[in-house]
Chains A and B, each alone.
Chain A
Amino acid sequence: EWIKFAAACREGEDNSKRNPIAKVRSDCEETQPIVYRITGQGIDESPIGVFIINSRTGEINITKIVDRELTPVFVILCHAENAATGLAVEKPLELRVRVLDVNDNIPIFSQTIYEGAIEEGGMENTLVMKLVATDADEPNNLNSKIAYKIESQEPAGAPMFILNKQNGELHIANILDREQHSSFSLIVKATDRDGGSDGISSQCTCGVKVIDVNDNFPTLGQSSYSASISENTLSSEMFRIQAIDADEEFTDNWKAVFFFISGNEGGFFDIVTDPATNQGIVRCIKKLDYEQMQSVPLSIGVRNVAAFHHSVSSQYQVIEGPAFSPSSISFSASESLTKQSISTYIVGTYQAIDMDTGRPATNVRYIMGRDPDALFIINPNNAEIRFTKIIDRESHYVINGVYTAEVLAISRDFPQRTSTGTILLTIQDANDNCPLVTNEIRKVCMNTPSVVIIAKDLDADPHGPPFKFVIVSQPRNHLWDIRYVNVCQTPFLHRHGWGWGRVRVCHVDHAHTSRGASASLSLPDQSETESGTKLFFKMHYLLFLSPLVIPILMSRSDCCGNCLGAGTKHGVGAGFETVPECTEGNIHSWGIEGAQPEDRVNIYTNTYGGGGMVTSGGVEEITGLGTVKGYGTAGGYGTAAGYGTTGRKESIGGTIKEYREGGVNMAFLDSYFSEKAFAYADEDEGRPANDCLLIYDHEGLDSPVGSIGCCSFIGDDLDDTYLDTLGPKFKTLAEICLGREIEPIPDVNLPWPTTVVTENTYTTGSTLQPAMPIPDPVLQGNVIVTETYTTSGSPLKPPTRNVDPLYSPNVVVTERVVAPASVTGLHGMLEIPDLPDGSNVVVTERVIAPSSRIPPSLSIPDLADASNVVVTERVIRPASGLQSNFGIP
C-alpha cells in the first residue's frame, strides 16, 4: 500500500517552476524500451492537462494553476509500457498529488442578518442564538478555522452579550431589562485563521429583541379616590382608577385586573377594566340605602391579567400580618381585689389588628410575653386578659403604681409573624401592709454586738403608728433581746451569745392588726468572727437572708491531661505495620521490550523503601522480586536492605502474562500502543523495523484475548534481511505478520534447574527451621518459595509446594499469613541463624494488613557471602493470583 502523497503543490500559484514534481521509473527499462504514460483527473479527466509526463524519462510536470477547493487531491495513474508492443510491464501505480491550501476564501455567514429574542431577566450565560459562518478553505486547517467576535453593540454601554469565539454561540452576559432596552443590535465579525491578524473577516448583523415578562407590578394612579352617589340609584361609572404598569403595553403583563380588598361585602359595587386606558371603572350595581350606610370605605387592589414573573412574584402583596394598634393599652385595678374576686375578674381585651384588612386579626393566637410577676393570663383566641393572682401595689415589679407586661399575637400561618403589645396596669393602692424592715445593712461582729432594725410602712405613711418588734425564735434561750433606743421605738438587737435567731417585726396599726415582716439573723461562730468574717444583716419584707458562703471547689480531673501526657508515641516499639496501598500499577518501559535501564531499579527501590508509594500492580510485584535492594518497611523492617538480588532479572522479570495476572492496566497498554502505532503511521519516513513496539505473549495457557498485542511494524516486504536484525520476540512477531510458521521460544521448555525453599515460622517457642541451601543460586532457573507461618500458636501445617518448571523463568513466592494476632507475640519470632552455606536464600515477607505495631521481628545476620539471595515480596491476593497447580494448605 502506498500510503504517502507523492507530491504537493500549492493552489492558486504557478508551480511549474518546481517541475518536475515527480518521476517514475520502471526497472524494466534495463531490459526493454519503456514508455511512460499517465491518466486520471488532471490529465485526461477534468481538469484536463494539469499534469503531463515525459514518456521517455517518466518525469511528471504540472502545467496549470490548481484550486484546492475544486480538486484537493489529484491521483495520477502511472503506466509503464513496452515501447514496441504497448504492453504494460508494470501494474499501474497511483501517484497522489496533494494541493496545498491557501487562505483564499472568506468566512461566509449562513445569514447576513440574524434575528433572535430572549426574555428579560434571564439567567446569565443563557444561550440566545448561534451564529454560523463557514470557510471553504481546507477543513481542519487554520485557514478555515473561524473565530467569532462582537464588533459593536447598539445601544452601547455595558456589554450585554458574550459571543463564544469558537462556536459562535451568543449568550447573555448581563441581566436584560426590557424596560431599559427592548432590543439590541450587534455587529459580529468572523475571522479565519482563528482570528489571527492574517485572517480574513466578514461581518453580519445580529438583532436581539428582549421579550417582556411580567416583572413590574401595576400601581394605582392615586392613593385614594372618592365619589358620591344618591341612594337607591345605580351607576355605570362612579369613578375611574388609573392603573400604571411598566411592562409592555397592551399585553397581559400590562393589563390591570382590579379587585376589592374590603368594603364591598354587600356586593354593591364592581370594577371593570377599560382595556384601552387600563383604567378601572367602579360601578354601583346594587342600590344603596343612605339610612344604612352614609359612606362606604372601599379598599381596592390591582394585579395583571398575566401572572407575575417568578422573579418578582414573591414581592407582590406583602402580607403585613397582625399588629397591636395602638401598641400599648392601659388597664387599672385595685390591689384590694381578693382571691375570690380575681377569679372572675377580667382585666380587659387586647386584640391585634390585621394590617391588611384593618379588622381584628382572626388567624392569630395570643400568649403572654414579658410578665415579670406572672400576673396575667390571656385567652389565646380572643385576647381576654385575667389576673393569675392577687395584685400587690407594693410589689417591686410595680413601678410608681404601674405594672408593665407584654402580650404577643402570633399568626397561625406560615411564616409566623409575631406582634407585641404592651399592657400598662395601674394598681390602685390599699392599706394592706405591715411595716417593713428597710434595707438596713448592719455588720454584726464581735465588736458590734447589736444591730439596729428600722421598719418602714410601705403603705407610705411616714408618720404611722409605732411598730412593735418581737423575737420570734432563737436557737438558744435569750441570746438576743430587743432594746428600744428612741421614741420612734427603733430597736436594736442585743446579742448575748453566738448563734442565730429570728426576729419578727410587727406593726400595730390603727386597727391593731398585726402583720409582720421577719428576717433571719445569723451570727458567725467565734472563730469565724475572730477571723474577721463579716455578717451582713438585711431585713426585708419576708426576705430571709442566709449569709452562708459555700465554697465550691472545682476539682478538675487530670484524666485528660494524663491521657494527653501518655499520648501515643508513634514509632515506639514495633508491630504489624500497615502495608501502604496503592491501587494502580505502573508500567515500566523496560517491561515492554529491550533492556531494563539500570536507573529504574533504583527509582523503584527507593519508592519501595520509602514505604509510602508502594504499588500493588503486578509489574511492581515482579519487579520487586528483582529489586529487593534497599527494600524495607517504614516500621523498621529495613534489615533486609543491602542484601543482594538473585542477579537474574531476566529470569524473574515477568512476561506479559504475569503482568496481567498481577493486575497490570491493560487499558493503559492498549492506549499506549495505539498511540504509538498512530504516531508511526503519520510520520513521513518509514522507521527501521527494529524500532517498532512489541507487546508479545506466547499464547500460553489462559492467555487473554489479544495477547498478541498491537505492533507498529514497518518494513519492506521485499526485504527479509531485517528479520535478522530483530530480537527473538520481534522476529517471531514479524514472522507471524508474514504468515510464517513460527518456532517456539526456546527457553520455554528448557529444563532449568529448580530450587524449592520452604520456610516455616512460629510465634513463640519454636525454632526457625534451617533454610535449605541452594546449590547454585546464580544458575538460571526457577525459585519457588512457599511459606507459611502463624502467630496463633496452632500446630503448624507442613507447607505444600508444587513446582512446575514449565513456568520459567520466574520466581514465584507465595506466602500465607495465618491469623496474625498479638502485637508482642511476634517479638523475636524470627531469628535467622548464621548460614554456613554461602548459597542461601533468605525469604522475608511482608504482613499485609495487620493493624497494630509489633516490635522489629526480623533480624538478619550479616551475610557475608555475596551469593545469598534475599527475596522480599508482597502477596496481594494469596489465593486468586496463584496458578492452579500451586497448592497452599
Chain B
Amino acid sequence: FLPQVKEWDENGVGRWKTFKRQKR
C-alpha cells in the first residue's frame, strides 16, 4: 500500500503527502 493524504496549508492549498511507515 502506498497511502497518500491531502493536507491543507494556511492558504487553503491542498498538497498530497505520502506517508511512510515509521519505526521508533
Contacts and interface: CB of A to CB of B under 8 A. Distances in A.
Interface of A: 1-8, 18, 20-27, 78, 80, 90, 93, 95, 677, 681, 686, 712-717
Given A80-B1, A93-B1, A21 B21 contact: no
A2 B23 contact: no
Interface in B1-17: 1-8, 14
Contacts of A22: 3-6
Contact of B22 (A6, A24, A677, A714): A714
Contacts of A677: 24
A7 B22 contact: no
Contacts of A93: 1, 3
A717 B2 CA distance: 15
Nearest to A687: B22
Given A2-B19, A4-B19, A93-B1, A18 B6 contact: yes
A203 B21 CA distance: 48
B6 A712 contact: no
A8 B6 CA distance: 9
Contacts of B3: 2, 6, 22-24, 78, 93, 95
B6 A1 contact: no
A25 B1 contact: yes
B5 A7 contact: yes
A7 B24 contact: no
A4 B21 CA distance: 9
A4 B19 CA distance: 8
A3 B24 CA distance: 10
Interface residues of B, number: 15
A714 B23 contact: yes
A21 B20 contact: no
Contacts of A20: 6
A790 B19 CA distance: 69
A289 B19 CA distance: 113
B1 A26 contact: yes
A287 to B, nearest CB: 102
B23 A1 contact: yes
A717 B19 CA distance: 14
A27 B3 CA distance: 11
A716 B21 CA distance: 7
Given A7-B6, A713-B23, 18 more contacts: A1-B22, A1-B24, A2-B21, A3-B22, A4-B22, A5-B5, A18-B8, A18-B14, A22-B3, A26-B2, A78-B1, A80-B1, A90-B1, A681-B24, A686-B22, A714-B24, A715-B23, A717-B23
A27 B2 contact: yes
A6 B21 contact: no
Contacts of A7: 5-7
Nearest to A26: B1
Nearest to B6: A21
5 contacts: A6-B5, A24-B1, A24-B2, A27-B2, A80-B1
Given A6-B19, A18-B8, A712 B24 contact: yes
Contact of B20 (A25, A713, A716): A716
A271 B7 CA distance: 90
Contacts of A681: 24
A686 B20 CA distance: 8
A8 B7 CA distance: 8
Contact of B5 (A3, A21, A717): A21
A729 to B, nearest CB: 19
A452 B15 CA distance: 130
B7 to A, nearest CB: 8
